[in-house]
Structure 1
Amino acid sequence: MKNIFFKKDSAEIIKRINDLKTDSTALWGSMSVAQMLAHCNVTYEMVYDNIHPKPNGFLKIILKLFVKNGVVNEKPYPRNSRTAPQFIIKDNRDFDIEKERLITYIQRTQELGEKEFEGKESLSFGKLTAKEWNNMFAKHLDHHLTQFGV
């Protein structure tokens, strides 16, 4: 698995993002390429921007017990897997804006590095290791970039 904290790996992910076009089509699923980029941005919004509500205590326990491992392990996501409601993008998005936002988030994460993320609190899963953060970031990006053939 790629390591989002390594400059070489994050540059490779950014190259794949730059290979996307406004008319890139998904090999599976129903999102447009701009919606997919916005969808990928949600993960980073939850880290850097205070725009998503924290799950209540009960929901957080459910997420930790039943969802966390599937998100932070190294096993790839299956095609057409379900997603949390805040990740569903239904409206049209601007491809160039979403692409630039995603690249900026990836660069920021890489520059902050593993030390910044070791033991950092996740909005949904509680404290994660840097490896778990990387798996979550890299696996999600790879899944959706593969979905769009890049």
Structure 2
Amino acid sequence: MNALWTLLPVTTLTVRQFIGGRTARLAFVLSLIPALFAAIYLARPWGITSSEFLSDLFRELIVPTLLPIVVLLPATAAFGDELEDGTLPYLLMKPVSRLRLVLGKYCGVLLVTVPALIVGLALTTFIASRTSGSEELGRFLLAMA
């Protein structure tokens, strides 16, 4: 329980840095790229089912390309913003272990990127399947975890 409380201030600081900045907006826009492909599929389905399309899109675009980029941008910005603002030395002088600082930053990055990815994936599934797509969305979220 004590470890959670020491992670909380760093996580809160990281989330606060991302919410107002361009990094969270960029992560959200990048997570909407598969929805553009789903709209193209909706206009011209190429004779494959929506389940096959979503499976191929997830396997060929989202996992190997988009997921690393969407997570890497905020992850590098987590410490890059501290370095750019000149607050990194003050953060490192805190009586908190560096592992807890990194874990706090990691939790902050997850709190920003995971909702953006879920919204993008849900919108993509909804557009491509032309229905709620809850069964396909559940399968893709399970695969993402």
TM-score by length of 2: 0.27
Question: Which structure carries more helix by proportion?
Answer: 2
TM-score by length of 1: 0.27
Larger Rg, first or second structure (1 or 2): 2
